[in-house]
Amino acid sequence: MKISWATGIVIAFSLFISFILYFVFTVQSNSKYDNELVVEEYYKHDAHYGDEMKRAQNVMNLAQKPAINAVSAGIEIVFPEVFVPKNIKGKVSLYRPSNKKLDFEIPISLSGATTLLIPKKSLAGGRWDINMEWQYDGKSYLSKKTLYIN
């Protein structure tokens, strides 16, 4: 049986379309290929970008800035000694770009020490985007850092 050029092209296109549709359905139905947004309400978040930049600039204007570091025990946030620990209020948001289910927030609650430790047992290895939103003496601040945990 001889196949004409037209029939061969139709068969080739059909196989190619079937191949593409197979991968589209596989990616959409399998939870292994989860496609999540980093921010749920992107446009609402983007509307407050100017305010976010002001808070980040407030941190840049500080003579002594808080430090966010990866240590063997986890993630350590150290505020300068000039701050009164009980007057610092806010939250630390940890975002895992590869898996939204690992994201979490912790409040900043310092009693006597100027150090906050996030234990390593609550952190999976890999990249973490850390956003620290805090207030001190009526002024708002925003510190951002990306760390890699082993």
Pair 60, 93 in one domain: yes
Quick one: 88 and 145 in the same domain? yes
User: With pLDDT > 70 as the criterion, what percentage of the chain qualifies?
Assistant: 94
What's the pLDDT at 37? 60
Same domain as 48, residue 30: no
Verify that 8 and 62 share a domain, yes or no. Answer: no
CB-count burial class (<10 Å; 0-12, 13-18, 19+) for 18: exposed
pLDDT digits (tens, 9 = 90+) for 1-13: 788 999 999 999 9
For residue range 51-94, list pLDDT tens digits in order: 889 999 999 999 999 999 999 889 999 998 888 888 899 999 99
Q: Based on the fold, state whether residues 117 and 66 are members of the same structural domain.
A: yes
44 pLDDT more than 80:
no
Same domain, 46 and 76: yes
CB hemisphere CA count around 141 (13 angstroms): 23
pLDDT digits (tens, 9 = 90+) for 126-146: 899 999 999 998 899 999 999
Q: How many domains does the chain have?
A: 2
Q: Are residues 55 and 119 in the same domain?
A: yes
- Domain with 101, as residue range(s), is 42-149
Query: 77 and 94 share a domain?
Result: yes
pLDDT confidence tier of residue 36, bands split at 50, 70 and 90: low
Continuous segment of H or E residues that includes residue 22: helix 5-29
Residue 39 pLDDT > 70, yes or no?
no
